[in-house]
Amino acid sequence: MAGVRVLVGTRKGAFILTADEARRDWTVDGPHFPGWEIYHVAASPADPNRLYASQSSGWFGQLIQRSDDGGATWNPVDNTFAYDGETGTHQFYDGTPHPWEFKRVWHLEPSPTDPDVVYAGVEDAAIFRTTDGGKSWVELPGLRTHPTGPKWAPGAGGMCLHTILIDPSNPDRLYAAISAAGAFRSDDAGATWRPINNGLHSLYIPDPTAEVGHCVHRLAMHPSHPQRLFMQKHWDVMRSDDGGDNWHEISGDLPSDFGFPIAVHAHEPETVYVVPIKSDAEHYPP
C-alpha cells in the first residue's frame, strides 16, 4: 500500500493513522471498538489488508478481532485460549505457587509469509498459534512447560508474554519476552525454547545474574541483521549481536535507563528509539 500507516491500540479503542510519504498530513480513523482496551493491533506482512486486534474488558473478557479490508470492517474470531494439558504453577508475587490462569492476549505477531498464521502472547505467560486466520488457537506448550517455568513470577502488570519476534531470514527462529521471567528463543518454530538472559543483571532478584527472573519490558530486532537485538529492561537498555546468546548494556547517558518501549528505525537501522521514564509509580519522563 502507498504511503504510511500506523496502527494504535489505546485504553479507549483502536485507531488507524495514514499519511503520504511526506508524513505532513495525517488522517485518523477511529476509534474502532470504542471503550475497549486494545492491547495490540497488527497487520499481516503477507497481506496488509489483513489486520488483527486484541481487545480486553473486565466486563466482557477477551476478544480477537480480524479485518480483511484494512480496518473498514471487523469480525470476531475464535477467542478460546486453552492451555495444553496440566497447567502446573508459577510463583506468585509473594513467592507462593500459583496456577497458570489465562487472562488476556498482549501481543499478536503475524507470520511474514502467511496471513492466516499468527502467534499470540498471553497472560499468564504462554504462546499460542493459529494457522487458520484466528478460527482456532493452539498453545505451543514447550515455552510454558520449560523447566524454569515454576520460577517465573509476574511483574507489576502481570505475568505477560508481551513480545514475539520472528527472524525474517529463518522463520523457525522465534523470540519471546516475558515480564518478569526474561527473554527466550526457539530454533524449531516454537516446539522448544531456552532462556537467553546471559549478561542481564537485575538487583531486585535474589540472584542478579539468574537464568530467569529478569523483568524484560520489550525486545526489538534490527531489520537487516536479525541476529542483532535490542532490549528495554526494567532497568538498562541492552544489545545482543548473537541472537540473544549474550547481552551488553548500552544505556549510556540516558536520563533514565528505565522504560517500556524500544523500537528500531525501519530504514535507518542504526537508529534506536527508547522512552526514558522514572521508575517509580508515576512513570513520567525524568
**For the domain that residue 248 is a member of, what is the CATH number?**
2.130.10.10
Q: What is the mean pLDDT of the chain?
A: 94
Checking if the pLDDT of 194 tops 90, the result is: yes
Residue 181, domain member (yes or no): yes
- The pLDDT confidence band at residue 261, using thresholds 50, 70 and 90, is very high
Chain segment 138-180, per-residue pLDDT in tens: 999 999 999 999 999 998 889 999 999 999 999 999 999 999 9
Residue 72, domain member (yes or no): no
Residue 211, domain member (yes or no): yes
Distance of CA 234 to the CA centre of its chain: 15
Residue 51, domain member (yes or no): no
Helix (H, G, I), strand (E, B) or coil at 63: strand
Checking if the pLDDT of 221 tops 80, the result is: yes
Cα separation, 150 vs 124, in Å, equals 12
In this prediction the pTM is 0.95
- 220 is in which domain, residue-wise? 81-286
Residue 29, domain member (yes or no): no
Residue 259, domain member (yes or no): yes
At 267 the pLDDT is 85
When divided into structural domains, the chain yields a total of 1
CA distances from 104 to 81, 99, 153, 177 (A): 9, 15, 17, 16
CA distances from 189 to 14, 39, 96, 196 (A): 30, 24, 32, 16
Torsion angle (degrees, nearest 10) of CA 106, 284, 255, 271? 40
Residue 222, domain member (yes or no): yes
Residue 64, domain member (yes or no): no
At 1 the pLDDT is 57
At 266 the pLDDT is 86
Instruction: Give the three cell numbers for residue 158.
Output: 502481570
At 55 the pLDDT is 96
